[in-house]
Structure 1
Amino acid sequence: METGPEAFYLPLDDHTYEPTAATESPWDSRAQHGGPPSALLGHVIDQAVGPGLRLGRISVDFLAPIPRLPARVELTTLRPGRQVHLTQADMVIDGRTAVTARAWHIATGPTPPVRSEPVAPPPLPAPTGEDLFAGREDWGYGQAIEWRFVEGGFTDLGRARVWTRVRIPLVAGEKLTGAARALIVADSANGLSAVLPMDEWLSIPPTMTTTLLRHPEGDWTHMDCGTELSDDGLGLTRAALSDAGGRLGEVAQPLLVRRR
């Protein structure tokens, strides 16, 4: 994205952010994809929480389509604590809360006497020259991320395993953190692993939960995504997150499934 946006968001003041074209929804150029707002709320919460606490889980609720307009982020501490700490962040756009997130931070401590065996992800494939989401060169979010598939593809249905690399900062002038890298792509899990043609069927996640085992490291995040459908119009997408060092955590998205 050498000629694209410099970041997903431009800070207007300490609490207000202007979304760039890199946040663009695939269905409406006036709206935002769910990934960047999730990452922004998580990032703002992270900055506000004291040292010695690490993000363990974040649940993000999408209350309506998210306009691509300046957004104010408002924080509320719901459960202060030195061992566990719960914070809520609201993205307010044009006087309305469009997205709300609740994040649990957990205190870090000494290494336990029993350690889990690392689960290695598949190797990073070589570039193919076809790394734009759905092949669309005009879609800002798709261009802001590099995608390298191990299994599946943008036009394939079913399970997908893909390495992702976020190309630009989340907020202009600020370093992109590992947690932000993971959250920017986490809400793409259902689209990557859709089991019904997306031009015929809606598959809408009203909420997304990401749980992190440890702090993500490196530029690349691997997602192993799968979607299951019920017989009454709901679905569930789950994705295992990894980096080069092994398992990071998981994503879960309940789905509204309807024919267009």
Structure 2
Amino acid sequence: MSIITSFRAGLAFFTRIPVGAAPLPPTLSGVVAWLPAVGLLVGALAALVLLPAARLGLPAPLCSIGAALVWTVVTGGLHLDGVADCGDGLLVETSPERRLAIMKDSRLGSFGALALFFVLSIKVAALAALAGMPSLHALGACCLAGLLGRCQVFAGMRLPSARPGGLGAMMHDGMKPRYAYTALGLCLAACLVMGRHGLYSLLAAGLVAFWLLSAARKRIGGVTGDVFGALIETTECAVLAACCLP
């Protein structure tokens, strides 16, 4: 598969950006490699709504809601679905098998609704704060959030797949160590550019990954597509919030 074809497949798989017909390959190896680039693009698109709206004098809450809406529309809410499913499945006290069944259920439960509420609230609040900050800092924060969020997925390759044959298993099997090393290098470089806020973001992302992946390993025995989605969304929130610190 050529570089352009795999990139288009990555955009088609992880976003709703129209890229024409881009059939998925038998394995997701080449597609998963583009996760960091997709994250940068998604963050940049959100910033391109947030910053002009703020410079036009619109209230910060409206600017942030618009940016969060674009963030969600561009990804098709794919990762937010993982937040809801993980909220419903990981926060209940039952067997691992029952948790996996709950996460596969399309119905939204109370824990899933609460998880969605808090994740979206933190993202909107952080974007509202960034709207009043220098443009380059806000742009960097959005791009860094998208990048670190998706690079976190490579941290999940250390855990086994909890649901063989599922989407998460396909992503897990498609990950290669060299992709993880490349993602780590990109993350470190981006954090250096952001200065102390890059350090805050790296620490916040590490805490999120440790907490969520530990919970997934303990409660369902590994990772699923929902866990990857929740990891992306919660990391984005943590990074955006970290970039708002003084």
TM-score of the two chains, using structure 1 as the length reference: 0.27
Query: Counting helix residues as a fraction of each chain, which structure ranks higher?
Result: 2
More strand by percentage: 1
- Higher RCO by CA contacts (8 Å cutoff, separation 6 or greater): 2
